[in-house]
Amino acid sequence: MRSTKTSLGLSNSSEWFRSVHTRVNTAPDARMKVSRSDIISRCLMACCPNCGRFGMFKNWFRLNRHCSHCEMQLEKDESGFYFGTTSIGYVLAILLVIIPVCVFVVMGKIGMWTGVILAIIGSILLCVGLYPLLLCWVILTYYLVSPQELPENKEKDESN
Residue 57 has pLDDT above 90, yes or no: no
Residue 54 has pLDDT above 70, yes or no: yes
Is pLDDT larger for residue 71 or for residue 93? 93
Model confidence pLDDT, tens digit, residues 23-42:
444 455 556 788 889 899 98
Average pLDDT over residues 72-101: 83
- Measured CA to CA, the distance from residue 73 to residue 25 in angstroms comes to 30
**Residue 74: which pLDDT band, with cuts at 50, 70 and 90?**
confident
Q: Which of 2-6, 31-35, 43-47 has the highest mean pLDDT?
A: 43-47
Supply φ then ψ for residue 58, to 5 degrees.
-80, -45
- What percent of the chain has a predicted confidence (pLDDT) above 70? 73
> What's the confidence (pLDDT) of residue 1?
46
Separation in Å, CA 150 to CA 11, 50, 76, 108, 143: 40, 6, 13, 53, 7
Residue 80 has pLDDT above 80, yes or no: no
Q: What is the mean pLDDT of the chain?
A: 79
The beta-strand segments (E) located in the chain are: 57-59, 62-63
Model confidence pLDDT, tens digit, residues 123-149:
999 999 998 888 888 888 888 888 888
Q: Which residues partner with 59 through β-bridges?
A: 62
